[in-house]
Structure formats: structure tokens, C-alpha cells
Amino acid sequence: MNPTGYPIENVQFQARNDGYPGPPVAPVAQYTTVNITSEAPSDYVVWSICSFIYLNPCCLGLAALIYSIKARDRKVAGDMNGARNHGSTARCLNIAAMILVSIMILIFIITLSVVVNQAKATIHYRNYY
């Protein structure tokens, strides 16, 4: 009984002639077996929930959450290609939401620093004259 599903080969060992002690050397294998395992596609549900709660500009977090749930449903149903497509869409929407929120935070910090600087200059100007 072979659990791997491949035929078993019986190989005769050759005697070592090189003078070293030890077991005989087996001939070099002629075939290489490569096992390709397909990983389950990612659905990015946790990232989508965080995007929905914290980073939700233009409802991108909600759309990412919907596609993540669709990807999880497709994965459970066995449709791996559909799960990959929906997971990829959810990932792109999460990235877009993160970029938009980062830009908005950067604009807010720049605006706040300019307003504070102008307020200091105005106070300094009024106290000087």
C-alpha cells in the first residue's frame, strides 16, 4: 500500500568501491517529483472590517467588506477562481481606502500646521503694534 499514490520502485544498491566505510550508495534518481499545492485564496475579512470601521472614505471600506464576504462564501462553496477574484477586489478596495485616508490625514496635518503658524504670526503682529 502506497499512501502517496506513486508507484514504488525497487532499487538495487551498489557496493561502494571508494574505500569509505558505510552503507552502499544508491544510484541517482532519474525523475524528480514536484508537488504543487494550491493555497486557499485570501479573503481579507479582518482588513476589510478595519477599513470599514476606521478607514471608510467614499464607502470603500463597506465595498471591501462586501467583496471579502463574497470571497469567503465562494471559498466555502469550492469556487476558488471566484474567491480569488473577489479577494483581489477586496484587497484593491482596502488599499484604495488606506491611501485616501493617508492623504486626508496628511492634508489635515499640513492645514493644521499652516493655521497654527498663521495664528502665531497674527498674535505676534498684534502684540508688536
In a domain, 35, yes or no: no
In a domain, 62, yes or no: yes
pLDDT tens readout for residues 84-99: 999 999 999 999 999 9
> Is pLDDT above 90 for 126?
no
Average pLDDT in the 32-57 region?
Answer: 80
In a domain, 15, yes or no: no
Collapsed DSSP state (helix, strand, coil) of residue 14? strand
pLDDT tens readout for residues 51-77: 999 878 889 999 999 999 999 999 999
In a domain, 40, yes or no: no
CA 58 and chain centroid, separation: 23
Domain extent, residue 50, equals 45-123
Radius of gyration of the chain (CA): 31
> Is pLDDT above 60 for 103?
yes
Number of compact structural domains in the chain:
1
The mean pLDDT value of the chain amounts to: 82
